[in-house]
C-alpha cells in the first residue's frame, strides 16, 4: 500500500472543532450551538458511536433532553460535509479527524474494542469505483470496511 495513509492520529479537540466549523461554514451551512454540541459529543468518543449515544451525551451536557431526530439530521449534515463519517457495518458515526481530506474512506473496525482506524488508499477505492462503473453503476460514495482485531487487542 505505497499510496495508503493512516489517519489514526488525533488533532486537539479545539482544533478539530474549528476545522469542522470552517468546513460547514465553507459549505454555506451554519455552525449553530446545537451543531457545536453534537460535534463536541461525537469528537469526545474514541470509537464510532450510535446517534443515540451522541443524543445522550448532548442531553447530559446541556442539562435537558435533546430529540434524537435532531441529532440524526445534524449527523447526516456532518457526513454530507465530511465533518463526520458513518461506519456502516457498526451503524455508527465518528468525527472526521481530517475534514478537508478528499479521499474515500477505508475503515479498519476492531470487533473487540470497537475502535475504527481510517486509512486512505486511492488505488483500492479507485478500483472499487472502476468496478462499479464497469458494471454500469454510478458510484457516489464507496464504503470499504474491514472487520477484524486491532493491534492493541490482538
Model confidence over 105-120: pLDDT tens digits?
899 999 999 999 988 8
CATH number at residue 125: 1.10.10.10
Residue 153 resides in a domain = no
| Mean residue pLDDT across the chain | 89
Check: pTM over 0.75? Answer yes or no: yes
Question: Is pLDDT at 100 greater than 90 in this prediction?
Answer: no
Which pLDDT score is estimated for 143? 85
Residue 8 resides in a domain = yes
Question: Is pLDDT at 101 greater than 90 in this prediction?
Answer: no
Q: pLDDT tens for residues 128-137?
A: 999 999 999 9
**Percent of the chain, pLDDT > 70?**
90
Do residues 88 and 143 touch, judged by C-beta distance below 8 A?
yes
Residue 75 resides in a domain = yes
Q: Starting from the edge strand earliest in sequence, which strands make up the sheet with 106-110, in order?
A: 4-7, 116-121, 106-110, 144-148
Mean pLDDT in residue range 71-95:
94
Whole-angstrom distance, CA of residue 107 vs CA of residue 116: 6
In sequence order, the β-bridge partners of residue 121 are 4
Mean pLDDT in residue range 8-31:
81
Residue 116 resides in a domain = yes
| Cβ atoms < 10 Å from Cβ of 111 | 12
Residue 154 resides in a domain = no
Mean pLDDT in residue range 58-79:
96
Question: Is pLDDT at 72 greater than 80 in this prediction?
Answer: yes
Whole-angstrom distance, CA of residue 144 vs CA of residue 14: 29
Q: State the residue range of the domain holding 64.
A: 4-148
* Structural domain count, the chain: 1
Amino acid at each position: 500500500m505505497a499510496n495508503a495513509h493512516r489517519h489514526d492520529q488525533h488533532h486537539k479537540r479545539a482544533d478539530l472543532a474549528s476545522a469542522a466549523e470552517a468546513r460547514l461554514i465553507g459549505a454555506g451551512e451554519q455552525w449553530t450551538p446545537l451543531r457545536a454540541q453534537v460535534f463536541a459529543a461525537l469528537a469526545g468518543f474514541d470509537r464510532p458511536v450510535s446517534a443515540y449515544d451522541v443524543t445522550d451525551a448532548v442531553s447530559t451536557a446541556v442539562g435537558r433532553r435533546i430529540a434524537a431526530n435532531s441529532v440524526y439530521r445534524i449527523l447526516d449534515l456532518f457526513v454530507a460535509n465530511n465533518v463526520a463519517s458513518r461506519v456502516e457495518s457498526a451503524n455508527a458515526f465518528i468525527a472526521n479527524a481530517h475534514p478537508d481530506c478528499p479521499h474515500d474512506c477505508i475503515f479498519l473496525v476492531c470487533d473487540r474494542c470497537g475502535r475504527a482506524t481510517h486509512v486512505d488508499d486511492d488505488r483500492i477505492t479507485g478500483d472499487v469505483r472502476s468496478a462499479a462503473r464497469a458494471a454500469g453503476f454510478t458510484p457516489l460514495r464507496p464504503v470499504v470496511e474491514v472487520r477484524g482485531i486491532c493491534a492493541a487487542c490482538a
